[in-house]
Structure 1
Amino acid sequence: MTSELVDDRPLSVPRHPAPVAPRRTRAAALPEVRWAALSALAFLLALPLDLAGAPAWTWGPLYALAYAAGGWEPGWAGLCALRDKTLDVDLLMVVAALGAAAIGQFLDGGLLIVIFAVSGALEALATERTADSVRGLLDLAPARAVRLSAPDGEEEVDVAALRVGDTVLVRPGERLPADGTVVGGASEVDQATITGEPLPVAKSAGDEVFAGTLNGTGALRVRVDRDASGSVLARIVAMVEEAAGTKARTQLFIEKVEQRYSVGVVAATLALFAVPLAFGADFTPTLLRAMTFMIVASPCAVVLATMPPLLSAIANAGRHGVLVKSAVVMERLGAVDHVALDKTGTLTEGAPVVVRVQVLSGSASDGDRALGESSARDEGSVVDEGSVVDEKALLDEDGVLALAAAAEHGSEHPLARAVVAAARDRGLPLERARDFSSVPGRSVRARVARVTVEVGRPDALLSDGTGTDRVRLTRARRAVAEAEEAGRTAVVVLADGVPVAVLAFADRPRPGAAEAVAALGRLTGTTPALLTGDNERAAARLAAETGITDVRAGLLPEDKVAAVRSWADAGRRVLVVGDGVNDAPALAAAHSGIAMGRAGSDLALETADAVVVRDELATVPAVVALSRRARRLVVQNLVIASVCIGALVVWDLAGHLPLPLGVAGHEGSTVLVGLNGLRLLRESAWRRASEPAAGEG
């Protein structure tokens, strides 16, 4: 007799304890942010006064403050670059802004200064936050450890002082200080930070454990196998830093373009000024013509050609629960052509739920008689008033679930919470349990009314010595095998030593997971891959439910990075979607990374390029589609800006371009590309990106 629990309401069963929060640098502590804020404030105060025709003394000092606050740092950096015989676009922007001011176009120059000041501040903040997150990861491992010495001595030492071969004591609820092997004790260890497994793993003598993982209710004695610098956790930090450094090298091409553009504009401006003077031209009109050239050739329209579509897409995505960290990220998301998804907490909800109750229905067996004899023996015992336990209900699924939930009510294990939640979802009243006891990694035991109930691992409870008949024992083992073959976790329920049911648990796919996978496949032209630290059967079951064919299970963080790099070496631009510390290296190594925000670790949130705040998988293909549309608008704007700038420059060089007309043409093209980019702010832009057809283009 079986029952499928189909209630899709999420349960408040935590996947794993929240990781240690990293140290975070306050934005206001960065000088770049303070100067950019001052520049923007001064500009915003001056702008309405200027446009309203107020006297120059009211807005002039404000513009001067905006120029000074936002321009001194890039200007100084540009002068330092000149000392090294290089010319960057930041210095050119400052010169263009000053040139605009010199001919009375204070608003144009101020806007240019503010744009570059804010951009520099955001870059500085992102860099510092990334460093914070990497430092915070190291806080996952404890700073102190209890080292055991012969014969029974204990001493507390710094983790850095541990050496290979030392034995450490890890008490319940503590994080493991080093990678090693269990040499004594039994417990369950939450390894989600390293492997991504959704459930704590039973550990006993001979099992491997990792630094930074969380011990459960038992005490462990662990032999240190690696020093602190060689631990899995330390290797994760190194991989994140290495991948971040690799990404930075992709900016070399952009820097070369900036250098050539800057040199070209400066050389052309100087030539346009010096050559006519050498042939006897008047100084004032020659200077005015050169400054007009500087204005019309300045890249304001080019900057706005790129930024409004991307920033509008960022704002629109933010309204729908996707935080994209920069315009560069938004542009990169549209270039991905392969997607790799984490399992636990990404494709799934990250919390176990009871999905099947398989009652071991009665036969004319000694097991059934044993239940009756147990009840008769206890007939004179004290029973709680209002007891819901009825011997006739013991072979009924609701009765079994109520018994198991009553016994598990005192446990903090995620599976125990799932059992209690399933019973409450069915509206089953829970009996008060007595004599509760727990054996870590094995089972819980409690007295529920007149019945002794045990709930635990099949290999611990289904032994030949249970006292029940072979038929019932065989049925229980068959039910366990069926559950595990389906990729589910199985536990056995015993009543007075008799197996009465097998409960199957699974980590449910998120709502819309299959649809999101299909949409990503249409967008990229290839079916997404599944990268997980969980076992192969659980991964295969989820893949079958969501339509994924490329499944890679049992992976450590370095294995996920290797998979991402293999795709990259094959010419793929890979998008990785994950949520855990163990996903952070892959997120950093990928072309783009998206983290699930609600249950995501701090490192994953900081390492990823974008964060899905509400954990809605459907927003992942939507933001990729939105990015692709933004990229198309960027191309449109660059064409518009290039044509306008080119026409104005040719006019100025080949004829006589009046300064007012040059400014009007330059600013007109700037406004045009800006308005074109702002189209992505509309709600209809997100709806179009979210449509199934969006995956086709």
Structure 2
Amino acid sequence: MKRFPPVDLSLTLSLVTVLGMAMAAAGRWLPSGAFDALELPGLVLVYLAGGLPTGWRALSELWRARVLDIDLLMIVAAIAAAIVGAPFEGAVLLTLFSISTTLEERALGRARRAIEALMALRPETALRKTANGAVEEVPAEVLTVGDVVVLRPGARVPSDGVVVTGRGGIDEANITGESMPVSKEAGAQVFEATINLDGVLEVEVTRSVSDSTIARMIRLVTEAQAARAPSERFSEWFGQRYTVAVLAGAVIAFATFWWLGGDWELALYRAATLLVAASPCAIVISVPAAILSALSAAARGGVLFKGGGALETLAEVDIFAFDKTGTLTTGRAEMTEIVALDGDEAGFLSLLAGLEAHSEHHIAAAIRREVASRGLDPAQVADVNARPGIGIEGSDALGPVWAGNAYLAEDMKAATDHPALQALADGANTVVYLGRGATVLGAVSVADEARASSAGAIAALRDSGVRRIVMMTGDRRSVALRIGARLGLGPEETHAEMLPQDKVRAVGELAATGRVAFVGDGVNDAAALARADVGIAMGAAGSEVALQAADVALLSEDMERLADAHRLSRRTSRVIRQNLTFAIGAMVVLVIGGLFFDLPLPLVVIGHEGGTVLVVLNGLRLLSDPIRRPKASVAGQALTGVAQPT
């Protein structure tokens, strides 16, 4: 027998409940009398389809967790209405409650559908090369690190990997958000579920399917939907305790009205009215309806929040701190000048490339590209050790060598006052020194450019009311000022020559004056991402450390989506306040009307459940919030781009 998913079952029961309500309404209100016989069967259908499932959930929750929830309130109110001779009003209550519950579950179902859309991107099979050079078709999930797969035109990449041979264009729209195909050749990184457009590529698998980009995105979506925002936790806490108070209040109201009037039916009617009027359905659902809708809208637009708490906190942020390289800049650095103090430029570059071959830094990639373009082979360097924020160390046949910025040179007690080196240092580009112990062998300068979207994103954040924006970088101040000026940042907003611990300290100082979001992309940024009130990882696919440390992942390298996400978080906060204000106000009016002004039970039912439906619909409006999407996005999912550590 086929099992229906929970959302489909809820929808089916709601449709049956609505059908029964229509039958009961026709039997009661149509004047001809021909439909009178429909009222009783219709009411029975409503109480069965709308009441039994709700009652079962309520009793299960009471038995399993010893919790008196809203479902129990609704059932008690409907039964009380039937006892006092108002089964039609009880049926209206059950019908509207069933509709609002279905709307809630469909909102919750967005999380599952987002994961299903991600799963649909993954290819089921792959063409794997065997040891003798043949090609066999295997399930994608059996691929392991080191396997080589063949990609024919039109094929999806089965798992993250590196191109071994071949050259062609890859459509990365569903991963990086890049609407134009990206040319790939030997050594280039490719991501699972991207599409090979032309050419035949051989790709070595670097991550198993269980640890691939798509797998990590699925985990992020799952964790985000499971994590509750502070306001969600409060509304759940409030709803459970308030339910007990309402049930106790209904008993007290029944006893009071019976004692005053002696009419148990009137007393029960007033108690039933109070049960309906005071039920906190709208209050409890108003927050998750908005939070889940916003999380889904953000994910479709290329922004993943690790739960509603990050979404709510981002709405309160009034200070943004940005890492420079790879975040505000493209990270596509180019070598501009070379100074080899011994005159052997080829040997100098070969040794430098041998060290940088072990680094994932943007500058290291620029050096490797330059060396490859000259046809030089990197020197053999072993025992390599990264010095986060300052450089890298290793050993070759002649002994220890190092490469890095002025901090590392100073740490090595190496003099950089040679006129040729000083000329590089006086420029506005990044300088990388190469040396042995206290001797500097030479240096190269590397330039990086601001992203096209960075200036617009910063301007949009200012327009939205962000009080302060700063840029932090380990680069020299002249380099930082050049980039900052292009982004509209003043000298007082530009912090240069910072080590990772300096960024953490600066974020802490900013946090003392307001809510701070730090935006970064690399290993060096992980501590600052964790220290900020909201850590935002830029281009999360390339840096596992940054992704894990962050609260929000920008799944594309379009910086303007950050401003969109900030605007969405603030709009979500406004919708939550609207919902809570409306829900509490309506409940107060209905309670006062039901207790002291003889407000009829039918009006209380419509007011209560109608209010619940309205707050759910108000929250669902956030699903259409326009966060930018890449034009060629597959299945509406814009996932992460490549961004290496800074």
Measured against the shorter chain, the TM-score band is 0.5 to 0.7
| Matched residue, 1:289 | 270
Answer yes or no: is the 8 Å Cα contact 1:359–1:502 preserved in 2.
Answer: yes
Asked if 1:347 corresponds to 2:328, the answer is yes
Aligned amino acid, residue 426 of structure 2: E
Identify if the C-alpha distance between structure 1 residues 338 and 271 changes in structure 2 by more than 3 Å, giving closer, same or farther. Answer: same
2:360 is equivalent to residue 421 of structure 1: no
- Please state whether the residue corresponding to 2:320 is helix, strand or coil: strand
Paired residue for 2:73?
Answer: 96
Kindly report which structure 2 residues correspond to 1:548-697, keeping only aligned pairs within 5 A, or say none.
549-552=492-495, 560-570=503-513, 572-580=514-522, 583-584=525-526, 586-599=528-541, 601-602=543-544, 604-682=546-624
Tell me, yes or no, if the aligned pair for 2:318 and 2:465 is still in contact at 8 Å: yes
The residue that corresponds to 1:518 in the other structure is 459
**Does residue 356 of structure 1 match 2:336?**
yes
2:258 to 277, 289, 312: 277
Whichever residue aligns with residue 554 of structure 2, its letter is V
**Among candidates 302, 317, 333, match of residue 298 of structure 2:** 317
TM-aligned CA deviation for residue 488 of structure 1: 0.3
Give 1:528 shift.
1.5
Determine if contact 2:273/2:604 at 8 Å carries over to the other structure: yes
Q: Deviations along 1:470-504, whole A, 9 cap, x unmatched?
A: xxx96633443334xx35024689xxxxx9x9742
AA matched with 2:621: R
Change (3 A) 1:544 1:672: same
Equivalent AA in structure 2 for residue 412 of structure 1: A
Paired with 2:96 and 2:549, the residues of 1 have a C-alpha distance of: 36
User: Counterpart amino acid of 1:354?
Assistant: E
Paired with 2:610 and 2:378, the residues of 1 have a C-alpha distance of 81
CA apart distance, 1:612:
1.0
CA distance in 2, matches of 1:307, 1:637: 11
Does the CA-based 8 Å contact 2:100-2:612 persist in structure 1? no
Offset at 1:309? 3.9
Cα pair distance change 1:601/1:109, threshold 3 Å: farther
Question: Of residues 415, 420, 423 in structure 2, which corresponds to 1:476?
Answer: 420
Q: d(CA) in 1 for partners of 2:473 and 2:364?
A: 24
| Aligned equivalents of 1:435, 1:637: Cα separation in 2 | 63
**What are the residue-to-residue correspondences of 1:166-245 with 2, within 5 Å?**
none
Cα separation, partners in 2 of 1:674 and 1:444, compared to 1, 3 Å: same
CA-CA distance at 1:321 after TM superposition: 0.6
Q: What does residue 44 of structure 1 align with?
A: 11
Larger radius of gyration: 1
Shift in Å at residue 665 of structure 1? 1.7
CA contact (8 A) 2:46 2:95 kept: no
Q: Does 1:412 align with 2:364?
A: no
Q: CA deviation at 1:529?
A: 2.7
What's the CA shift string for 1:10-67, capped at 9, x where partnerless? Answer: xxxxxxxxxxxxxxxxxxxxxxxxxxx9764542342222223397679947964565
Displacement of 1:622 in angstroms is: 1.5
Q: Per the alignment, do residues 458 and 523 of structure 1 end up closer, same or farther by CA in structure 2, a change over 3 Å counting? A: closer
Match of residue 60, structure 2, among 53, 72, 82: 72
Equivalent residue pairs, number: 448
Gaps of 5+ in 2: 24-40, 80-89, 112-227, 385-391, 410-416, 436-440, 630-646
In structure 2, relative to structure 1, the CA distance for the partners of 1:578 and 1:101 (3 Å cut) is: farther
The letter for the 1-side match of 2:270 is R
Secondary structure in 2 matching 1:489? strand
- What amino acid is the match of 1:680? L
Contact kept, 8 Å, 1:100 with 1:108, in 2: the verdict is no
Deviation of residue 613 (structure 1)? 1.1
Answer whether contact 1:574 1:590 (CA < 8 A) is retained.
yes
Change (3 A) 1:563 1:255: farther
Q: Which residue of 2 aligns with 1:335?
A: 316
Aligned-pair CA distance for 1:666: 1.8
Q: Relative to structure 1, is the Cα distance of residues 515 and 338 closer, same or farther in structure 2, using a 3 angstrom cutoff?
A: same
Deviations, residues 84-116 of structure 1 (Å, cap 9, x unaligned): xxxxxxx34243243355344445555777899
TM-score by length of 1: 0.52
Cα deviation for residue 562 of structure 1 reads: 4.6
RMSD (CA atoms): 5.2
Offset of residue 628 of structure 1? 1.9
Deviation at 1:658, TM superposition (A): 2.7
Q: Distance in 2 between matches of 1:94 and 1:630?
A: 27
Alignment correspondent of 1:153: none
Query: Partners in 1 of 2:405 and 2:553 — Cα distance?
Result: 39
* More divergent stretch after superposition (113-122 vs 618-627): 113-122
The amino acid that maps onto 2:470 is: A
- Please state how far the C-alpha of 1:337 moved relative to its aligned partner: 1.5
In 2, Cα distance between equivalents of 1:531 and 1:359: 28
Look up the equivalent residue of 2:273 and give its one-letter code: T
Q: C-alpha separation between the residues in 1 aligned to 2:474 and 2:339?
A: 31
Q: Cα gap change, 1:565/1:118 in structure 2, threshold over 3 Å: closer, same or farther?
A: farther
Unaligned runs of 5+ in 1: 1-36, 80-90, 124-246, 361-366, 372-399, 446-453, 463-472, 494-498, 688-697
Shift of 1:69: 5.2
Q: In 1, distance between residues paired with 2:613 and 2:295?
A: 20
Determine if contact 1:329/1:592 at 8 Å carries over to the other structure: yes
Aligned to 1:375: none
Deviations 1:336-384 (A, max 9, x none): 11122234443344x4621524699xxxxxx9xx99xxxxxxxxxxxxx
Match of 2:180 in 1: none
Q: Is the 8 A contact 2:433 2:443 kept in 1?
A: yes
